[in-house]
Amino acid sequence: MKSALSENHRYGLPMVVIHWLMALGILTAFAVGLYMVDIPGITPFKLKLFNWHKWLGVTLFTLVLLRMVVRMVSKTPKYPAHWGHNTVLFAKLGHFALYVLMLGVPTFGYLYSLASGFPVVWFGVIELPVLIDKDPGLKDLFKTLHELSAKGLVFLVAGHVLMALKHHFMDKDRVLGRMIPGAKVD
C-alpha cells in the first residue's frame, strides 16, 4: 500500500538546494551578527565582519526571491492526507511567517545601514541604491527592527526544525524526506 507521500512526494532539486543554502546562510548571518556586535570599538576585523554580514544578507534576500519564483513554477508536495485542518493551517502560517521574515530581516538591515550613513556594496563591487539618507532616528528604528526580526526568524527556524523532527521521528510521516535528497519518503 502506498503512503500519502508517494505521489508528488518531493521538492525538486532547485528548491532543495535553495532551502539548504538558505538554512546555512541564515544561521551563519545570525552567528556573525551576534559575534560582530560584541567586538569592542571599530577595528578592521569588525568592519570586515560587518561587510561579510551585509553581503550575506543581500545574498539571502536574492535567494529568497529566487526561491519564491522556483516555488511558483514548481510542483510542491501535498500535505499528508492524515494531517488535520489545524496542522495544515499552522504549517501554512509558519511557512508564510518564514517568508515574511526572510524578506524583512535583510530589508531592515539594508535600511539600517543606509540610515547609519553606510551604503551597501555587494561583495565590494555592486553598489546598491541609496534609498534613504543618513538619519539617526531611522537608524535606531531600523536597527531595532533588524534585530527583532532576526531573532524572530531564528525562533521560527528552530520551530520549523523541531516540527520537521517531530513529524519524522514521532509521527513517522516522513515529510522531512521531502527536503533531504535520497531520504525514503514512502
Model pLDDT for residues 21-75, shown as the tens digit of each residue? 999 999 999 999 999 999 999 999 999 999 999 999 999 999 999 999 999 999 8
Alpha helices in 74-135 (DSSP H): 85-115
Q: For 123-166, how does the pLDDT look when each residue is reduced to its tens digit (9 = 90+)?
A: 999 999 999 999 999 999 999 999 999 999 999 999 999 999 99
Cell matching residue 166: 517531530
Positive or negative torsion for Cα 95, 25, 153, 87: positive
Nearest-angstrom CA–CA distance, 11 and 161: 17
| Domain ranges for the chain | 13-179
Kindly report the number of other CB atoms within 10 A of residue 42's CB atom: 8
pLDDT band at 186 (very low <50, low <70, confident <90, very high): low
| pLDDT band per the 50, 70, 90 thresholds, residue 3 | very low
Q: Say which CATH architecture domain 13-179 belongs to.
A: Up-down Bundle (1.20)
Q: Residue 125: what pLDDT?
A: 96
